[in-house]
Structure 1
Amino acid sequence: MRMRIARTAAALGIAALLGAAGAPSGAPSASTDPASSPVVDAGQQCTPGDRAFVSSASYLVERLGLEDAWEFSRGQGVTVAVVDSGIDADNVHFADALVPGASTFGDGSARADDDLFGHGTAVAGIIAARMVDGSGVVGIAPAAKIMPVRAFESAPEDGQSSRDVVGPSVQSVVAGIKWAADNGAQIINVSLSDDQSADLYADAVNYAHARGSLVVASAGNRNTADSDRPDPANFYPGELPGALAVAAVLRNGTWSADSSYAGPHVDIAAPGQSMPSAYISGGDCVFNGDSASSSYATAVVSGAAALVAARYPDETPDQWAFRLTQAAMRVAPAEASDTVGWGEVRPAEALALVDDGTLPGPPSPAFAAPEPTPEEPRTVSVDAGADPLGPAREIVGWGFGAAATISVIVLLLARGRTRRLRT
């Protein structure tokens, strides 16, 4: 049973994130005063229980144009469910951010993110971390609410520690999606992918969609995939209709074949490398310094979706998804690629988008595709057309004719005169 669950977790693309934070350092123990916490950067190890802050501003603010986006929306009034490993509610970035959640196992209570990696806490921080003095970490939608929906278990088994992660099952993820939809989450973040159980995932996505929720899911991490199945053909729930599948790009916007899967299932991309976010220490950490994780890219797009949903509450989940994909940065406006889908997310452009059904790119859910207009039939004549130089040619012809006639008359007169003179 343990082997089956462990393989499921690997196939779902759940990354071991702690090692990605950087080299070890001796961090002091936790402090109760945020301003007195030490500083951590991408070159330091993040340790559970040792709180530190990332002092520099998140590069995501400038790269994604968040200052411009926040002029329109900060995600207020929107709830984002994080179907994951739980959330550390004591982290200072979540002081007023959390709404009641649940677990999809046990007694259903929303347990804390007590595993060794803090995956759910990091994802939630990218989505909606509040600003804190002394920290540069801030969420994409810093006024949105976070709903923790725990689909991971931590339980001792076969002599292992009580903090060991038991990966999510298909049933726990599906139950989490449905619970979030039933409890008012407009956006449901699922930072994982699976290549099996299409029917179960489709049922959950359709259930959420019918209740006004947009499911945003991972398009797959190559470097955390199950080695027994290195090239899955499907990526559920992201590739399903009604969901967005998110690929990760490096900090500079480059897609990396070492980190991500490519394919027609990819809808959109976002940064997934060197991601500053909340950590189970109660403070901050910088995740995935050497690769791009679609878990974190998914969180970025969920945050952007929260901004859109807050500004356009009367639109449908399909319209929110359309805004994000249509406004994404790409080379060819009318073409999607297998690596980044419709391009890298741009929240401010999505918020300012005006959809009239004529934009090149993904089809609008609000306007029917224009019918191609048939060309009017044309009659082609094979008769010789009028000669535009005809009149001129006619005048010239008459001129030559007259000249020739005169010449003949003159010649005849001259010959007649010559004969008379001889006579």
Structure 2
Amino acid sequence: MRGRALRSAAAAVGVLAVLGLGLPAGAQAATSTPAAPVVDADQQCTPGQRLFTPTPSYLVKRLGLDEAWALSRGSGVTVAVVDSGVDAGNAHLQGALVPGFTSFGDGSVPPTADVAAHGTAVAGLIAARQIDGSGVVGIAPEAKIMPVRAFESAPEPGGSSNNLVVPSAASVSSGIRWAAEHGAKIINVSLSDSGSADVYRSAVDYAHSLGSLVIASAGNRKTADANRPDPTNFYPGELPGALAVAGVMKDGTWNADSSFAGPHVDIAAPGQSMPTAYISGGDCVLNADSASSSYATAVVAGAAALVAARFPNESPDQWAFRLTQSAMRVSPGERSDTVGWGEVRPAAALALADDGMLPGPPSPVHGTPTPAPAPTRVVDIDPVADPLDPARAIVGWGFGAGATISVILLLLARARSRRVSD
């Protein structure tokens, strides 16, 4: 599956689907004659054609971002986007990028050349700066983005160089390592892979040891290969030291046609109708009809950036705990295989006080709360003294004495009666 040059944009989409990646709805690898597919009822996304979406992002209200931004906007935190590259020319990302890395070949391909639109969309959801005329804004609008390109473009016979090569476990893991070494506290990996567990585990463990939290996709069913059995593993998201994110619909419902479920799912976030940055240099609204875990992963990565900025001295495990513990769910003490511990709520994560007694995921500081023992019930079998006992004794004595006297008098009277008759 890995390492093959793809001969068309359609082939690129098909192979990315095997990895669980979700390309922007209607988007394709760059070609010499870009198409203009409709991705939302009122907007078309065309590479090279700059458009802006004036409607305010629904994510602001749905996730309570105004409340969260009063506490943190992500300043001082760098989020690595291990993906297809990030378009440095997008209006929302001006001043947002730090130097990045290309994790394949000799590294000469710039990480700011996005060949698939996917990485730019992910970066916009995380940290887009708000600009006039657009409602698009990132979850952490003051965080920095580190572009790490793990997708390769390969030449095609005839001279074209715009065909995608699927990112390998090696290129993704190399990107994770490089990002952690160069200061990324949050590492977004909007893909899932069913193999190469040891390769991913080594990279996630290394990043964790350097104080970085990996946030990855829990898998897209809509982009999976329908001709293959459902995957049973989702790397790197299911590994210790990482969070696996499921996508939910715009209204918060989980959709079985969009997402995989399983014990690997840690948390969920919206993944439908996502307003974000695009390789046109402007905006696009992506995934109008499904919930992409790729974009949900970016939402959680942005929330993690808010948390890391407010609590820089906490560990990656503590940041992850804040996100999962504060997530919105039906039962505080229970997770589910569809949405994990629930839908992310950034403001609640920022306000969380971990005293070790909260129901839900175990605290990395306090561990699992120990249930309070049931109070011991002591049963006293000794009789309880009745305060009226003395009075009752006197009354009883009086009755007894009276009865005795009456009996004696009766006997005496009978004795006299016999003497008289005799």
TM over 0.5: yes
For residues 379 and 367 of structure 1, the distance between their equivalents in structure 2, rounded to whole angstroms, comes to 32
Alignment of 1:87-98 (within 5 A): 87-98=86-97
Tell me the distance in 1 between the aligned counterparts of 2:395 and 2:158.
113
Deviation of the 1:422 alpha carbon: 5.3
- Per-residue CA distance 1:315-359 (angstroms, 9 max, x = gap): 111111111111111222222211111111111111111222222
Relative to structure 1, the CA distance from residue 404 to residue 267 in structure 2 (aligned partners, 3 Å threshold; closer, same or farther) is same
Matched, 1:320 2:319: yes
Amino-acid identity (%): 69
Distance in 1 of aligned mates of 2:343 and 2:235: 21
Can you list the C-alpha shifts for 1:286-315, whole angstroms capped at 9, x where unaligned?
Answer: 111111111011000100111111111111
Q: Which residue of 2 aligns with 1:37?
A: none
How far is 1:375 from its partner? 8.3
Task: Give the aligned partner of residue 18 of structure 1.
Answer: 25
Deviations for 1:34-67, whole angstroms, at most 9, x for unmatched residues? xxxxxx9654221112211111111111111111
Contact 1:273/1:293 (<8 A) preserved:
yes
Residue aligning to 1:250: 249
Structure 1 residues 173 and 386 mapped into 2: Cα distance closer, same or farther (>3 Å)?
same
Amino acid at match of 2:20: G
- Which one is further off, 40-49 or 173-182? 40-49
**Residues 95-106 of structure 1 correspond to what in structure 2 (within 5 A)?**
95-106=94-105
Gaps of 5+ in 2: 29-35
> Residue 58 of structure 1 contacts residue 136 of structure 1 at CA under 8 Å; is this kept in 2?
yes
Conserved 8 A contact 2:127-2:138: yes
CA contact (8 A) 1:192 1:218 kept: yes
- The 3-state SS of whatever aligns with 1:223 is coil
**Structure 1: distance between partners of 2:270 and 2:405:** 93
TM-superposed deviation, 1:11:
2.5
Q: Could you say which residue in structure 2 is the equivalent of 1:196?
A: 195
| Alignment match, 1:298 | 297
Once residues 263 and 257 of structure 1 are traced to their aligned partners in structure 2, the CA distance between those partners, rounded to angstroms, is 12
Residues 40 and 288, structure 2, Cα contact 8 Å, conserved in 1 = no
Could you tell me which runs of 5 or more consecutive residues in structure 1 were left unpaired when the two chains were aligned: 22-28, 30-39
Cα deviation digits, residues 92-122 of structure 1 (max 9, x gap): 001111111121123314244443x411111
1:301 & 1:331 partners in 2: Cα distance? Answer: 19
Shift of 1:153: 1.6
CA contact (8 A) 2:96 2:127 kept: yes
Matched residues in 1 for 2:397 and 2:217: separation?
86
Look up the match of 1:110: 110
1:244 partner SS: strand
* Aligned pairs for 1:217-232 within 5 A: 217-232=216-231
Distance 1:17 1:279 in 2: 9
Q: Give, as a single letter, the amino acid of the residue that structure 2 aligns with 1:318.
A: D
- 1:49 aligned to 2:48? yes
C-alpha contact 1:13 1:225 (8 A) present in aligned 2: yes
- Give the secondary structure class of the aligned counterpart of 2:260: coil
| Alignment-derived partner of residue 84 in structure 1 | 83
Change (3 A) 1:184 1:375: same
- Give the match for residue 4 of structure 2: 2
Larger mean Cα displacement after TM superposition, 5-14 or 164-173: 5-14
Counterpart in the other structure of 2:212? 213
Which residue identity lines up with residue 59 of structure 1 in the other structure? Y
Deviations 1:153-197 (A, max 9, x none): 222446796333222111111111111111111110000011111
Q: 1:135 to 1:372 in 2, by over 3 A?
A: closer
Superposition deviation, residue 388 in structure 1: 4.5
The residue aligned with 1:367 is 366
Deviations 1:380-400, CA, capped at 9 Å, x for gaps? 88xx63264594776675455
Larger deviation, residues 106-115 vs 179-188: 106-115
CA 1:412–1:125: 2 relative to 1, 3 Å = same
Correspondence 1:262 to 2:264: no
Q: Distance in 2 between matches of 1:212 and 1:376?
A: 43
Q: Provide Cα deviations, 1:206-254, integer angstroms capped at 9, x if missing partner.
A: 1111111110001111111122434211110011011111111111111
Shift in CA distance, 56/373, structure 1 to aligned 2, threshold 3 Å: closer
What residue in structure 1 maps to residue 383 of structure 2? 386
Which has the higher mean CA deviation after the structures are superposed, 191-200 or 322-331? 322-331
- SS in structure 1 opposite 2:43? coil
Alpha-carbon separation, structure 2, partners of 1:290 and 1:422: 123
The alignment's TM-score, normalised by the length of structure 2, stands at: 0.87
Specify the code of the residue in structure 2 equivalent to 1:234.
Answer: N
8 Å Cα contact 1:193-1:235 kept in structure 2 = yes
RMSD after superposition: 2.9
Shift in Å, 1:128: 0.2
Deviates more, 1:74-83 or 1:396-405: 396-405
Q: Corresponding residue for 2:32?
A: none
